[in-house]
Amino acid sequence: MAVTIWHNPRCSNSRGALELLREHGIEPVVIEYLKTPPDRPTLAALITRMGIAPRELLRSKEPAYGSLGLDDAALTDAALIEAMVAHPELINRPIVETPRGARLCRPPETVLEILPA
């Protein structure tokens, strides 16, 4: 399995995680998720692999968060995933996948937990 980073080049955390990967001799597959957003099955699989709830991946400071009413605690995980698929700017980043797991790398140093041995 290749190392993949779901990346936003405008995000300092995302740039930091990418730099750490490269410092460790890893040239990952870089997916700029705002240009190439994950589909629903891919996003759901990433969330499962990270072992987090969909709400933990939401960027609550994005305008779409408020306008879509995503602060409603009654929303299902499926509804939150659909919102992120429709509005990828709501997906927190960077997400890094390696053979050892997947993590939301905030702070960027979190990537060190899943570097290939």
Residues carrying an active site annotation: 11
CB 52 within 8 A of CB 104: yes
List, as one string, the DSSP characters of the chain. Answer: ---EEEE-TT-HHHHHHHHHHHHTT---EEEETTTS---HHHHHHHHHHHT--GGGGB-TTSHHHHHTTTT-TT--HHHHHHHHHH-GGGB-S-EEEETTEEEE-SSGGGGGGG---
